[in-house]
Amino acid sequence: MFTDQLMTLAVNKNGFIFDPENGVSYTVNDTGLFILKHLQKGVEKEEIPKLLEAEYEVSLNSASSDFDHFWSMLKALHLVED
């Protein structure tokens, strides 16, 4: 489940992210930016590893692992909930 906070993040093309609700900024790499933009578009989290697999030409196992790690970070920042 996405929180409203995830949807209000300002994200630029270089991976700089600003949270206007608390004034905190973050940076992400290309993979994190790809994941975040898809989450903000409303793509279901179960679909994102498949998109990563196709976009970056990696195994589904590797894409799933990368997504799971990023999702854990978003949870720790209270930007998403399970």
Give residue 20's pLDDT. Answer: 92
Per-residue pLDDT band at 1 (split at 50, 70, 90): low
Q: Which residues pair with 10 in a beta bridge?
A: 18
**What pLDDT, in 10s, does the model give residues 15-67?**
999 999 899 999 999 999 999 999 999 999 999 999 999 999 999 999 999 99
**What's the DSSP call for residue 1?**
-
The sign of the torsion formed by the CA atoms of 53, 79, 39, 27 equals negative
Give residue 82's pLDDT. Answer: 78
Per-residue pLDDT band at 72 (split at 50, 70, 90): very high
**Rounded distance between C-alpha atoms, residue 19 and residue 66, angstroms:** 23
- What does the angle CA 77 – CA 12 – CA 38 come to, to the nearest 5 degrees? 65
Give residue 2's pLDDT. Answer: 63
Cα 58 to Cα 2, 20, 54, 75: the distances in Å are: 26, 34, 7, 24
